[in-house]
Amino acid sequence: MSDAYPRNLVLVGFMGAGKSTIGKMLADALSWRFIDLDHVIEAQAGQTISGIFSTSGEALFRQMESAALRMLQLQDSCVIATGGGIVGRAENWVTMRQLGVTIYLQASWETLAARLAGCTNRPLARQEQGVERVRALYDSRLPLYRQADIVVDTDQGDPSEVAVEIIRQLKESGLWQKN
Ligand code: S3P
């Protein structure tokens, strides 16, 4: 593959935005590899994300998350789905920009609230968190997600249509080019 392509595509967005589902489809469409950063962390820790949160706490999880992201630096031709909180640390932005083009999968609060209702495997979106706190987290992260190179709306269209739209926007913005 030509050097003019981005090395990797890095998907960011709130929990429930469809980073994993859309990321897999995008990787298939490009014949690239798909990496789910949460799965990398779980494999390295030998524990689920919920387990890490309950035994070690969020602060340690964030350190593991940054370390796992840095370990991807040698990869290329990968679509990488990150966890919704990756955008909170400035150092993660440095790593993500080194990895390739960042893509924000945008979704409205209404869409996300419906998708996250009844969710039990995300420590920061469980019902006992209280919907107002999850909403406040969403609002506080919006300006961070918007630092991504391109923004793609996921409210409309099924995941395969969003994947096609990502490729269209990459080409249109000149971020995806052959020599
Ligand atoms: C988190 C999102 C999760 C996971 C962890 C923390 C967050 O990933 O990394 O539970 O802070 O938003 P998904 O966005 O894939 O659910």
pLDDT tens across 118-148, in order? 888 888 888 777 889 999 999 999 999 999 9
pTM for this model (two decimals): 0.95
Coil, strand or helix: which one is 154?
Answer: coil
Distance CA 90, CA 161 (A): 31
Task: Report yes or no: 83 and 131 within 8 Å, Cβ to Cβ.
Answer: no
33 contact partners, CB below 8 Å, separation of at least 6: 27, 75, 77, 78, 79
Task: Report yes or no: 81 and 166 within 8 Å, Cβ to Cβ.
Answer: no
Pocket test for ligand 1, best of 10, 15, 104 (most atoms within 8 A of CB): 15
What dihedral angle (degrees, nearest 10) is formed by the CA atoms of 91, 36, 79, 13?
A: -60
Task: Report yes or no: 101 and 171 within 8 Å, Cβ to Cβ.
Answer: no
Coil, strand or helix: which one is 150?
Answer: strand
Q: How confident is the model at residue 2, as a pLDDT?
A: 46
Pocket test for ligand 1, best of 11, 124, 139 (most atoms within 8 A of CB): 124
Distance CA 151, CA 21 (A): 17
Ligand 1 center to 17 CA (angstroms):
11
Average the pLDDT over 40-56 and give the result: 96
Token output for 84: 């919704």
- Residue appearing with tokens 């964030």: 62
Average the pLDDT over 85-104 and give the result: 98
Pocket test for ligand 1, best of 122, 129, 138 (most atoms within 8 A of CB): 122
Ligand 1 center to 76 CA (angstroms):
23
Given a cut of 80, whether residue 12 has pLDDT beyond it is yes
Average the pLDDT over 147-161 and give the result: 95
